[in-house]
Chains A and B, each alone.
Chain A
């Protein structure tokens, strides 16, 4: 990565645009997508920027094609991404599964809006969090990050690319219409200060290469198409050669590795932001725009003398099970605001396992939480 294309400087920048610049800074040189509010500005920016820096922008016919084209580009050896919102995210689920099964690095950004269906095109939602986890069929693990500001949308898009290369898997950036359409100061560092993870190339000669033989960390090196290495790619259950083998034994070996390469590295993947948890009786646990929105009611609750701390899930998947369990053993309650009717709150409840109360502050979508609703939930939690 020679830093070409990195737009070093201070900008007053929309979140969606910061996402595109983050991708470029990470080395992304391929975008395939279908415009959809509120993610269109990311596509627009990529359409403008890709040709300037030797990249490729493809306007696709739909989101099924967008996702599979991104996967194909990645096999061609280029860092690739797409950006969409709820309806398009649904269409991408099938090929997301293909990306997971074939271990194809790429980034999929979902600027969430109110759903289900076409719902609220211009307004916020966080209703796709469980779809991010389980939206494609079959057993798998996924990595999903949730930014709370345009700066973080820039930073986490870079991190998403790095994680996708390191663990050879699609990574989801689960942002939302509020953060995507918000404009704030975004600082783009000089290229030498931006950490990027290169593709894990084979270290053996072509005749010894087995495309699905993993290294010790359970991740196999990846040859790009056209480099002289022979490989076979299929969504069917496959052996180390990449050839289909349809039996339970091969399935067990492959799927266990796909799941374990994420689970065993969760400490590296999971990123949390904690504040005031030392003596907390209540933990305000949230992510994305809702974690940010809750800071004001948390401040008001502290002024009332309530011991409330915050746990912000910057990484949502894999879920920080151990941290929630630890906290559940010593706090009274978790309060979980999210713009849906209970998705991450259910995960918190699962991990709290009856040791602490878990209160969802739900919202159907279309707006952020009113501070009073979150404040009242915090008050009730200590009553």
Chain B
């Protein structure tokens, strides 16, 4: 059974929940796989810790929570402190390098850093940092196809912001390719 478990974390307002939705939609609608997206957050609309969980599988997803996450995307220090220990050996950890100080990593984890928020600011809108991160994620993993992710971004962001978001997606994707 192929089952990929992804957790995205940060604080409320960064678009973490939307990112999880986009990955799930890319897998379920455009890549024709099974995907389950769940979310957890505090009562605050901004600033509280939040987490999005996506499970992608070739078969129906029975257990809907993460059992053994293999990819962790972190966009705040608080989230890093809380969730970094849950990543399994051999897992992939992606951090926004300007927001997270990783220190010494426990276990055998593959760490990738991307200045997602800074790249978004270069586009003039810090708010698309989450989409930069999705571009990066699409480039460095194969959980969903790049085309599916791009299409899911285009159809999930607010009307009128598609071009900006697709540029953000491209920027994250190119950053990863350049670093390869």
B151 to chain A, nearest CB (A): 12
Q: Are the CB atoms of A183 and B63 closer together than 8 Å?
A: no
Determine whether A10 belongs to the interface, using a CB cutoff of 8 Å to chain B.
yes
User: Given A371-B63, A371-B67, A12–B21 Cβ distance below 8 Å?
Assistant: yes
Number of A residues whose C-beta is below 8 Å from B? 18
Tell me if B36 is interfacial: C-beta within 8 Å of chain A: yes
List, in ascending order, chain A residues with CB within 8 A of B43's CB. Answer: 122
- Say yes or no for B24: interface residue by CB 8 A criterion: yes
Q: Which residues of B contact A11 (CB under 8 A)?
A: 29
Which size bracket describes the interface of B in this complex?
Answer: 10 to 19
Interface check B126, CB cutoff 8 A: no
With both chains docked as a complex, state the minimum distance between the C-beta of B174 and any C-beta of chain A, in angstroms.
Answer: 26
CB 8 Å contact bits of B40-83 with A (1 = contact, 0 = none) = 10010000000000000000011111010000000000000000
Q: Are B36 and A183 in contact (CB under 8 A)?
A: yes
Contact B35 A185 (CB under 8 A): yes
Interface contact B38-A185, CB-CB below 8 Å: no
What residues of A have a CB within 8 angstroms of the CB of B63 in the complex? Answer: 292-293, 295-296, 371
The interface bits of chain B over 18-38 (1 if a CB of A lies within 8 angstroms of the residue's CB, else 0) are 000100110011000011111
Contact assessment for B29 and A10 in the assembled complex, using a CB-CB cutoff below 8 Å? yes
Within 8 Å of chain A (Cβ to Cβ): is B39?
yes
SS class, residues of chain A in contact with chain B:
mixed
Question: Interface readout for A88-102 with B: 1 if CB under 8 Å, 0 if not?
Answer: 000000000000000
* B62 x A178 contact (CB < 8 A): no
Which B residue sits closest to A292, measured CB to CB?
A: B62
Is A181 an interface residue, CB under 8 A from the partner?
Answer: yes
Instruction: Return chain A residues, CB-CB under 8 Å to B64.
Output: 178, 182, 289, 292-293, 368
The answer for the CA separation of A371 and B65 in the assembled complex, in Å, is 10
Residues of A within 8 A of B39 (CB): 181
A141 interface residue (CB < 8 Å to B): no
Q: Which residues of A contact B67 (CB under 8 A)?
A: 296, 371
Q: Are B38 and A12 in contact (CB under 8 A)?
A: no
Q: Is A184 an interface residue (CB 8 A)?
A: yes
Residues of B close to A183: CB separation below 8 A: 21, 24, 36-38
